Structure 1
Amino acid sequence: MGQYHKLPISVLDTFPGADAEAVHGLFLEELRDFHRKIVVLDDDPTGVQTVHGVSVYTDWEQESLMEGIQEENNMFFILTNSRSFSAQKTEEEHRLIAERSAKAAAACHKELLFVSRGDSTLRGHYPLEPEVLKETLEEQNGKSVHGQILCPFFLEGGRFTIDSIHYVKEGDWLVPAGQTEFAADKTFGYKASHLGEYLEEKSGGRYRKEDGIYITLSLLREQKLAEITELLMQAENFRPVFVDAIAQSDVEAFAVCLLRAIKAGKEFIIRSAAAVPKVLGNVSDRPLLGRRELLGGVDAGMEKGEKCGETSNYGGIVLIGSHVKKTTQQLEALKDSGVPAEFLEFRVDACLQEGGLAGERDRIIAEAERVMGQGRTAVVYTSRELLAPEGMDREDMLKLSVEISDAVTGVIAGLHRKPRFLIAKGGITSSDVGTKALGVRRASVPGQAQPGIPVWKTGPESKFPGLSYIIFPGNVGDKDTLKKIVELLA
């Protein structure tokens, strides 16, 4: 495995500039006669952090899939939340999604293109998820899937891929992903930073670094589109394709070639971070959502039975489940901000006692409602120490984390009144809040509260209809980003 060094952030300015406008024009030209529906399977709710005007479905019932496929938009998201699943459950659910999607597409006379949206810091069930999709789709429609594409670039989160080495921005440096705290994840840890080595590591050697197709920045920036397309045409037997990118124009240049290869008969499953769906969905840039848009122009403290215009000083709530270093720094910055808030620690060691988590949940609900009733913000956060009982394997660790997450998100499920605003921090936490606590079946995405921080507008079926639910990934933002959002809304 190669040894790679961190790079100064200034290295991003040393590459030949791309004519972004010309590339975008070429992409639009190819997209014009590309009529497939793009289905994005999101392993946590943060995959919509670059898009707006799209739907997110939280189930994969036939009715929901048919509804998504028949939407006017060329893309919709399905929140699988599979990052909180065991490998076995991930396989079972992805097989079910692929089977039902294939049947729904046939009924609607529509072809699909699947994007498996994963973490930009390379955590998740990979390559399992794309492999299950490939196998199931081949069984369903008899068409071979020739290649798998890996493109973890995510500008808003500071994730860049150069010479197939994936980097995470930390301050003024680009740090090889395998040397970051994310690579030490207790469930999805890894050592490699080179994408070819990463796939070789994660697959146990079933895919070899030297067998990959590499789409480099030099190919993209020099717009060698015919050469890139020819490389894609060489894909067979689910051969991996690794894509460099440091700007959206790089993804668009690659997408031009991808669409050409698909039109020429090649089939691919895409594994990416949030940048690729934005490009394939042709989603425009838009300003960050402001206070009025987030609070909806009416008092967000209204209960279901209250009428528009009734006043209330009811407060909002922040729920923090993520334990990564960046989240802890953001929590500390919020504590030092002076916002009218009370900080409530959810003691996760309660899991060591019979019925302890349920008791802790009920205590926090009462405290949070007291704080919000005073017009202040309740900031609920899990203990910063990670529980790792001796002898517990990865699957058991995942199971314990799900039990704790269920209790933490149960705080939102137990609220008796609609909060002024709701922010959930962390992938598993935010997913469980959306699906289990709020009961959302379909949400719309109006945009982002800060770069890389998406917002759901909850549907009429949810616990609190019309709530702007802010989904804050654990590994995104600067130290003061959480503070900025709370100051805007509190």
Structure 2
Amino acid sequence: MVARKASELLSGLIEPSCEQIQMKLEDARKGFNHKIVILDDDPTGVQTVHGVSVYTDWTEESIKQGFREQNQIFFLLTNSRSFTAEETAVVHQDIARRVHEVSLQEGIPYLLVSRGDSTLRGHYPLETETMKNTIEEISNTKFDGEILIPFFKEGGRLTIDNIHYVQYGEELVPASETEFAKDRTFGFNSSHLGEWIEEKTKGVYPKEDTIYISIEDLRSQNIEAIKAQLMEAENFKKVVVNAAVYSDVEVFVIALLQVMKAGKTFIFRSAASLTKVLGGISDKPFLSRVELITEETSNGGLIVVGSHVQKTTDQLCALLNSGLVTGVEFNVHLVHDDEKFQQEINRVRITCEELITSGKSVVYYTRRERLDLGVNQGESELQLSVKISQAVTSIVTDLKVRPKYIVAKGGITSSSVGTVGLSVKRAEVVGQIKPGVPVWKTGEESKFPRSSFIIFPGNVGTTDTLKEIIEVLEGKPVNAMKDF
């Protein structure tokens, strides 16, 4: 399978009237009072929303608080992409049980959304199957199907003719042919979502048994045909939704809400775009420096780069070449020697503190060459990766000065910096600074209360996006037209 031009794949598909769709969506939402609980496997799932809460634990108290909020939607940050399969199963059992119990106590029905990576990495099907099985064991609920929508417009992730694509400029590359498919933990071979489901479920759910919602039906607003397909779902049947623009998702949600009113039950595995539509979240302009830097200070900012995907490395190089910040390389290959590794951690932290105090913004980043122990050393590499991640986070935990802003690059890095380094328990998502790059406002309980924490996924943006974000934060001119 080869890359295709976006214009070629989408030719002949006419987008319907947005105004007409919005009227139908508003009508379908009447009586839809479910609390939408989103389990986020890293902090980047809030890439499309604003004005909502993120809880960094899943205690009964936090879940109750989420149910009692006025907002229809809230996020639970599990960070499960960094967990073992066993840890993931336990966490999802606990969350499913608590959500169901709180739902009964509060008298509010719920929807569960497993927000996963738009490039198809993560603990699938483990997470959704665990929640399904747990809830069916403790209640009379039976799930008819699982809805899969990895579409994420802001990041250029489109599903067309059941093939999931990653956009690079004007080209759409099948997901299985990108670096993300070669992930050591969550790699995959197929871009066809039916085949991907069959691959991930080890043949339990064959591609022939999957329901496919076509773009043609979505663009023609063939609600009745889509509803008929959804009504056929039973025994946790998989439903793949094609989508290339937001209106595709909106038309699907109209049909979905109507069949839910007819008694159909679903669990969702999606990227970030579905959550915006389900939650009825409006568009919002990108955040400005005035909104992000609310407390003027002479201190510099802090950028943490842990992700090793090539896109991140390219963005890091562009930032370093810009002269906007000072770079400090963290030689994580010293992890084999405890004494030298601790010395390196201390050196990086102290250097960052000195630069920030002097008014200079600093980026500290892990050495770009991967630490490779050789063949059949996966478990050892995982253990070292955990040790390295803890070290990267500890620099924020032990930081003795308050930066004027904090940026974390990479999903797992962002999660660790937010939950451990900054001790955030609950944050408000205030919006995005760039397409697919969300911003938290940290809570009063955190290490640096009311700070702007910018969460930059490793697989999002163009080569210049990180540099352009720092230009915004530093009050420098920025060309906002480069991102897709």
Q: Aligning the two structures, in what range does the TM-score lie when normalised by the shorter sequence?
A: over 0.9
Contact 2:304–2:409 (8 Å) recurs in 1: yes
Overall identity of the aligned pairs, in %: 51
Give the corresponding residue for 1:320. 305
Determine whether 1:336 maps to 2:313: no
User: 1:10 maps to what in 2?
Assistant: 7
CA distance in 2 between counterparts of 1:355 and 1:226 reads 66
Question: Is 1:481 the counterpart of 2:479 in the alignment?
Answer: no
Q: Under a length normalisation based on structure 1, what TM-score does the superposition of the two structures give?
A: 0.95
SS at match of 2:338: coil
Match of 2:67 among 66, 69, 89: 69
Q: Take 2:219 and 2:138, find their aligned partners in 1: how far apart are those partners?
A: 38
What CA distance in whole angstroms lies between the structure 1 residues aligned with 2:254 and 2:343? Answer: 55
How much has 1:27 moved relative to structure 2?
Answer: 1.0
Q: Which residue is 2:402 aligned to?
A: 418
Task: Give the counterpart letter for 1:454 in structure 2.
Answer: P
Question: CA separation in 1, counterparts of 2:54 and 2:299?
Answer: 28
Q: Distance in 2 between matches of 1:355 and 1:247?
A: 52
Structure 1 distance, partners of 2:340, 2:386, is 15
| Amino acid corresponding to residue 329 of structure 1 in structure 2 | D
Q: Which residue number corresponds to residue 409 of structure 1?
A: 393
Structure 1 CA distance for aligned equivalents of residues 298 and 147 of structure 2: 50
1:137 corresponds to 2:135: yes
Residue 179 (1) aligns with residue 177 (2): yes
Quote how far apart the aligned CAs of 1:436 are: 0.6
Question: Which residue type is aligned with residue 239 of structure 2?
Answer: V
Gaps of 5+ in 1: 300-311
SS at match of 1:245: coil
Question: What displacement does 1:399 show?
Answer: 3.5
Could you tell me whether the CA contact under 8 Å between 1:187 and 1:397 is conserved in 2? no
Distance 2:377 2:356 in 1: 39
1:32 partner letter: K
2:81 counterpart of 1:83: yes
Q: How does 1:156-171 map to 2 (within 5 A)?
A: 156-171=154-169
Give the equivalent residue in structure 2 for 1:20.
18
Which stretch of structure 1 is more off in the superposition, 356-365 or 454-463?
356-365
Q: Describe how 1:249-260 pairs up with structure 2 within 5 A.
A: 249-260=247-258
Q: Which letter maps to 1:208?
A: P
Aligned partners of 2:198 and 2:205 also within 8 Å: yes
Give the letter for the 1:368 counterpart.
C
Q: Structure 1 residue 400: deviation in Å?
A: 2.8
Indicate if the aligned counterparts of 1:116 and 1:271 stay in contact, CA closer than 8 A.
yes
Task: Give the match for residue 442 of structure 2.
Answer: 458
Taking the aligned partners of 2:127 and 2:341, their CA distance within structure 1 comes to: 32
Q: 1:448 aligns with which of 424, 427, 432?
A: 432
Does the aligned pair in 2 maintain the 1:119–1:273 contact within 8 Å?
yes
**Alpha-carbon contact 2:306-2:409 (below 8 Å) kept:** yes
SS at match of 1:376: coil
Cα displacement (A) at 1:397: 3.7
Cα deviation, residue 488, structure 1: 1.9
Cα distance in 1, alignment partners of residues 380 and 49 from structure 2: 35
CA offset digits 1:56-88 (Å, max 9, x no partner): 000011100000011101100000000000011
Equivalent residue for 1:266, pick from 255, 264, 276: 264
Greater Cα offset, 208-217 or 26-35: 26-35
Change (3 A) 1:406 1:257: same
Work out whether residues 97 and 134 of structure 2, in 8 Å CA contact, stay in contact via their aligned partners in 1: yes
Q: What is residue 370 of structure 2 aligned with on the other side?
A: 386
Asked if structure 2 preserves the Cα contact closer than 8 Å seen for 1:23 and 1:253, the reply is yes
Output the CA distance in 2 between the equivalents of 1:257 and 1:398: 43
Residue 306 of structure 1: aligned partner: none
Shift of residue 171 of structure 1? 2.2
Residue matched to 2:481? none
Deviation at 1:9, TM superposition (A): 2.1
Greater shift in the superposed pair: 355-364 or 455-464: 355-364
The amino acid across from 2:3 in the alignment is: K
How far 1:392 moved relative to its partner? 4.0
Paired residues of 1:448 and 1:455 also in contact (CA < 8 A): yes
Amino acid in structure 1 at the alignment position of 2:401: R
Q: In structure 1, which of residues 367, 389, 395 is the aligned counterpart of residue 351 of structure 2?
A: 367
**Structure 2 residues without counterparts, runs of 5 or longer:** 475-484
Per-residue displacement from partner, 1:360-391 (whole Å, max 9, x unpaired)? 22211101011111211111011111112123
Instruction: Say if 1:197 and 1:208, in contact at 8 Å, map to a contact too.
Output: yes
State the match for 2:479 in structure 1.
Answer: none
Are the equivalent residues in 2 in contact too, given 1:457–1:468 (CA < 8 A)? yes
Indicate yes or no: 2:217 matched with 1:219: yes
1:479 positional shift: 0.8
Could you say what secondary structure the match of 2:328 adopts?
A: strand
Distance (whole Å) between structure 2 residues aligned to residue 367 and residue 430 of structure 1: 21
Q: What amino acid does structure 1 have at the position aligned with 2:6?
A: I
| Secondary structure of the corresponding residue to residue 198 of structure 1 | helix
Contact kept? 2:289, 2:472, Cα under 8 Å: yes
- Whether the aligned pair in 2 keeps the contact of 1:150 and 1:272 (CA below 8 Å) is yes
Q: Output the CA distance in 1 between the equivalents of 2:128 and 2:85.
A: 13
Q: 1:325 to 1:105 in 2, by over 3 A?
A: same
**For residues 31-65 of structure 1, what are the alpha-carbon distances to aligned partners after superposition, in whole Å with 9 as ceiling and x for unaligned?**
12101000000000000010000000000111000
Per-residue CA deviation, residues 192-211 of structure 1 (Å, 9 max, x unaligned), is: 00000001111111110101
- Counterpart CA distance in 2 for 1:207 and 1:360 is 49
Is the 2:15–2:247 Cα contact (8 Å) retained in structure 1?
no
Is residue 427 of structure 1 aligned with residue 427 of structure 2? no
Q: Are 1:152 and 1:272, in contact at CA under 8 Å, matched by a contact in 2?
A: yes
CA distances 1:325-363 after superposition (whole Å, capped 9, x unpaired): 111110111111121x21011111011113444332221
Aligned match of 1:303:
none
Contact 1:344/1:381 (CA < 8 Å) preserved in 2?
Answer: yes
Q: For 1:396 and 1:150, how far apart are their aligned partners in 2?
A: 33
CA drift of 1:398 comes to 3.5
CA distance in 1, matches of 2:378, 2:414: 21
SS in 2 for 1:96: helix
CA distance in 2 between partners of 1:81 and 1:372 (Å): 29
> 1:242 matched to which residue of 2?
240
Q: Partner amino acid for 1:227?
A: A
Name the SS of the counterpart of 1:469 in structure 2: strand
Distance 1:60 1:434 in 2: 15
TM-score (norm 2): 0.96
Residue type at the aligned position of 2:359: G
C-alpha distance after superposition, 1:125-156 (max 9, x if no partner): 01111100100111122210110111000000
CA distance in 2, matches of 1:47, 1:355: 37
Larger mean CA deviation between 448-457 and 198-207 belongs to: 198-207
